[in-house]
Amino acid sequence: MKEVRTKSIKVRFSEEELLQAKANCPRAEFARWLRELSLEPGSVNDVTQPVKNSEIDLQFLRQISGIGNNINQIAKSVNNKYESIDSIDLLQQLNIIERQLQTIIEKC
């Protein structure tokens, strides 16, 4: 029988903190990772030291976060049964993402 989770908590992050937390997440499922991290014995001591980032790193994380948001919007549109998919628009959006990624790669 699958465990049903009925309780939730709200956690507030600054933009930089959220970007850093997502950058530290080793998987795509951020909420699941946070839950497992908080339930793991001794894990709190492993994450109490703040990680310092340069301004370039934060800018990079913002760009990656924006690209991730674009991809999520595309996926939501594709998965929405009630919205028709415009293939040309989808290809244009993917092309924009590809150019953004190429720009980031060139800066690194």
36-78 pLDDT, tens digit per residue, is 888 877 655 444 455 555 556 777 777 888 888 888 887 777 7
Average pLDDT of 11-28?
82
Residue 4 pLDDT grade (very low, low, confident, very high; cuts 50, 70, 90): confident
Q: How big, in percent rounded to 5, are the helix, strand and coil portions of the chain? A: 65, 0, 35
Per-residue pLDDT tens over the stretch 69-105 = 888 887 777 777 555 667 777 778 888 888 888 888 7
Backbone angles phi, psi at 58, to 5 degrees: -65, -40
Instruction: Please state whether the predicted TM-score (pTM) of the whole model is above 0.75.
Output: no
How far is residue 83's CA from residue 76's CA, in Å, rounded to a whole number? 10
By the 8 A CB rule, do 65 and 25 touch? no
| Nearest Cα to Cα of residue 70 among 100, 27, 103, 108 | 100
